[in-house]
Chain A
Amino acid sequence: MTLDAKIPDGDLEHKWTKYRSTIPLINPANKRNLEVIVVGSGLAGSSAAASLAEMGYKVKVFCFQDSARRAHSIAAQGGINAAKNYQNDGDSVYRLFYDTVKGGDYRSREANVYRLAEVSANIIDQCVAQGVPFAREYGGYLSNRSFGGVQVQRTFYAAGQTGQQLLLGAYSALMRQTGMGTVQMYARHEMLDIVVIDGKCRGIIARDLISGQLERHFGHAVLLCSGGYGNVFYLSTNAMGSNVTAAWKANKRGAFFANPCFTQIHPTCIPVTGEHQSKLTLMSESLRNDGRIWVPKQKDDPRKPNNIPEEERDYYLERRYPAFGNLVPRDVASRAAKERCDAGFGVGTSKMAVYLDFRFNRKRYGHLEANKQGNHHPTDEEVWKLGKDVITEKYGNLFDMYKQITGEDPYEQPMRIYPAVHYTMGGLWVDYNLMTTIPGLYALGEANFSDHGANRLGASALMQGLADGYFVIPYTIGAYLSQEIRTKAIPTDSEAFATAEQNVNETIKHFLDLKGKLPVDHFHRELGKIMWNKCGMARNEAGLKEAITEIRNLREEFWKDVRVPGAANEFNPELEKAGRVADFFELSELMCMDALHRNESCGAHFREEYQTADGEALRDDANFSYVAAWENKGNNTYEMHKEDLKFENIKIAQRSYK
């Protein structure tokens, strides 16, 4: 099968405008008979569901949480990018497009990224209209801040809770439609399979997590907005429930999975404290805007950070990357932290941490604030105090979170941070319409592989989720659904639905009958260790081969010896976890295969064999300038299909931030 990305003809600048003006329309009476299922209620899911319902489609939304508002988009902290150029600092649609393609280390599709940059400004307009309380300047205008990999200020934010505010905006739009009856909401429901009839996706099997009943739902189209798969590493900044199940079931039914090895390790997270650790907490990238990262120049320096004099500190990002300094992209910053710690310069009890220090900018802000208040000769004490107020206003919730978790006060001493799994650029392969390789099945937001190449820039996940949901799918879904107006709702007692439900039932029964010895978490934790050590921040051929063997062995043990308590027809969180971990066990092997086949380093995928003399990722454009899309052939075997990437508008170059 050849992959057709269905990229419209014409100039990059006009592709989207021209294309969306020519997609067939559907008359309102027909829309009312077309049913769309949305799986997941984060930024992509909520915005898509609300927008489609506003247009007149019949929409059903499924989420495993108790309310749509709890999807993990809620935890995004720092901000959302948009090419508004409010700061008059040279931003434009082209520059956002260029930064994103370069940030992704030239492994994304030009046309998709350009469209993303194009609609980014509309997102901010839409959110403000919904009442999203973005940060503002004294004149009442919207405020911006900087993020990594970029030299303009284009990030809109609401303290360190931007994801929360954007999601609540999309959620309110979704609730409005639910109240009007155009959306039927299924909270505490988990999608456990998709139903394919005559080659087209026609519905899903979902489990009501309270009663345990399996349900069959028909849809003319199904949108997977189910997020990323970072939890395959067990420890990540994802929520405990974040999982790959929806995307993985789709892969098993014929949707190709693209670039699974592209996983983002975020440089600034609170370090692991012990074996009991259940998840890791991110400290927003926006902190790098105002903080400086350093380690002591002396190994095992016993002094407290505040007692180490300036000249004995190594601001290694500023040293290695003078042009971007602390604002290098995430993959670069993470590897640099690992390099210092591996070389023995790490700090804290575990020595696997670096400092993130705010005192310079706290002083700078203190002076500015004093000046603003007419105090042109402030004392050091006044400066220190005023600076704290500014920092609190910008990042108060993050500083509080840090203090809660570590017991240390980041206002008084630098934060200790270390990289952690955060986001997955890989995901279901989609064409320009966001359709997977199964007709009628779409993937939006983090669930697809689309726009971020081998590394996502900060504040671009929120942008992509909302772009897909508000401004892309409402148009592109018409290309398919306009051909479906004669398709009547397929009764869910048909054979395809019955078989799919039967399969789900058998897996559940298997888990409950097994009566093994070890809890699901035990296996998940062990799997996470394999993945972190051998398919994490740095990979090599030998390690990946070992990982594949270890995963297979552990998977076999899991299916023989996992203990799932309770029954099928009740609220049973352990049963939910077992199903999700089973899917992680399959995906993890594919991730290693993908990492093993890609004999180059690019973005977050760092193969130790392929690096420059100074330790930077070394791409091989001649051989690997493609998307690897994996077709599931059953029994953990896969066939790879390539989508060649063409760069017609950007000159492909060695990525440099020096």
Chain B
Amino acid sequence: MVDPTPFPRSEVLSVSGLTVSYDGKLALDGAEAHVPRGTLTAIVGPNGAGKSTFLKAVLGLEPSTGEVRAFGRPVAGVLDRIAYVPQRAAVDWSFPVRVFDVVLMGAYRRTGLLGRITTALRAEVAEALDRTGMADLADRQIGALSGGQQQRVFLARALMSRAELFLLDEPFAGVDAATEAAIISVLQGLRDGGATLLSVHHDLSTVSSYFDRVLLLNRRTVAEGTVATTFTRERLATTYGAALLQAAIV
């Protein structure tokens, strides 16, 4: 895909001076990020570091100051190229939708108000479900799924948007091992296909095996770069505070 605007081709997301405050308390204080195309970045930091807030502020879901550009443009104008997978608790699980319907909602920008649900689109939903290992459950009501399965449905919905930048908020929180394996393989597959992904991540022990980049965040950006150069004991100690780091690793 050729981007018409002049801008370092490789940098998909650039964030500078991102600041969010609640009632005068700073949740984010000038966070930075420069994310190149085709990478899978873990956002890591202690509780209360503003990781979820960072994603929401990037998307414009939280009032913030600072500059956020995606694909070289303000985010509001390129939301159609971005997908967001929120933490699971957000929706009414008794809502009368089947897995298939939820995933189809991911294609709303294409179907619009009354656009026909074509055979091709149905096939695409089936493929998204297949990639996330949910093909057998397409007709289930979403409330009847396990936590891990619900998370995979939301990932499948994100796939339908054909986005190039994916923002995920703790996709592995409280899921079973099978789901974790399924999700990470989808994420790595997307990266290998040229997409750019950022994911809030809690489990420090899996950062090196799952991700290729890391963004250390504690209200401001402590460090950002490849796992090899950035995910070091000293940097983590700065991010978490030495005592807390012990707790985080154990």
Q: Do the two chains bind?
A: no
> B residues bordering A, Cβ < 8 Å?
none
> A residues bordering B, Cβ < 8 Å?
none
